[in-house]
Amino acid sequence: MELLTSPTPNGWKVTIMVEELREAGYDLADLTLTTVDIMKGDQFTEAFTAVNPNQKIPALVDGDRNVIESCAILQYLAEKFPSPLLPEGEAKWDVLPWVYWQAANVGPIFGNKLAYTRYMDDVPDEAKAHPLERFGKEARRLTHVLDKKLEGNDYVCGDDFTIADIALYPWLRGWKWSKVDITDRPNVMAWVDRVRERPGVGRGLAYGVPEDEIDRWSTERRDSYRKGGATIASNERLRSDL
């Protein structure tokens, strides 16, 4: 199996998944990890586009099967390597809707909030005001939904850590970077700390980042993410003629 990815929130989902599966007892010795430099534009190469026509990381190649979309990769790996990360039978429906919820809501909304907050220096403030308010308010609403869901639970779907936690965590942990306040969401704050303490999560987050910068990026790294993010988020990058 080959995992094509990059050190970003959607990329960290799958590196955390790999390390959590190792924690669950799978060695995944035949899995190789290939870094796709999305700041340089490697996602647009012919080779990568053949794997993922949507030209975004992450993607998984397993023999003749290509799997795109981070949450689909989480589910694919969870079904291939059974563990409490995704319960079997009926109980999987306690988990999968929250994975879809992340993919359809938290990812796009936090991603847009982040882009307008950090990566759009060239866009005049008046033009940013509306999207910042819209995505900021919606992100806050989503943190409220998550806070309620976590009430009385260690993890999003109950006592067990699952792929729903893996899907959500990389976006929530970046709340300061995206400037989505969660300090009045006590269950979310406690969950962010609880998830971070897991050894598999720590190893997954170390992908592409020096150990001493996992939890706090250096000024140089912030600048490089800002610069790369600005290129990726610019309208010039968007093509409608593929």
Ligand X SMILES: N[C@@H](CCC(=O)N[C@@H](CS)C(=O)NCC(=O)O)C(=O)O
Q: Which residues are at the interface with ligand X (CB under 6 A)? A: 8-10, 38, 43, 56-58, 69-71, 103, 107, 232
**CA atoms lying within 13 Å on the CB side of residue 174:** 26
Nearer to ligand X, 59 or 187 (CB): 59
SS3 179: coil
Is the C-alpha dihedral spanning 157, 161, 167, 172 positive or negative?
positive
User: Which strand (E) or helix (H) includes residue 61?
Assistant: strand 59-62
Taking the complex as a whole, how short is the minimal distance between the CB of residue 8 and ligand X, in angstroms? Answer: 4
Taking the complex as a whole, how short is the minimal distance between the CB of residue 54 and ligand X, in angstroms? Answer: 7
CA 12 – CA 5 distance, rounded (Å): 8
Nearer to ligand X, 148 or 176 (CB): 176
Nearer to ligand X, 107 or 204 (CB): 107
CA 113 – CA 181 distance, rounded (Å): 12
Taking the complex as a whole, how short is the minimal distance between the CB of residue 186 and ligand X, in angstroms? Answer: 28
- 97 cis-preceded (ω within 30 degrees of 0): no
Number of neighbours of residue 108 by Cβ within 10 angstroms? 13
Taking the complex as a whole, how short is the minimal distance between the CB of residue 171 and ligand X, in angstroms? Answer: 10
Taking the complex as a whole, how short is the minimal distance between the CB of residue 207 and ligand X, in angstroms? Answer: 13
Nearer to ligand X, 108 or 186 (CB): 108
Nearer to ligand X, 10 or 83 (CB): 10
Write the burial class of residue 158 (CB in 10 Å: 0-12 exposed, 13-18 middle, 19+ buried). middle
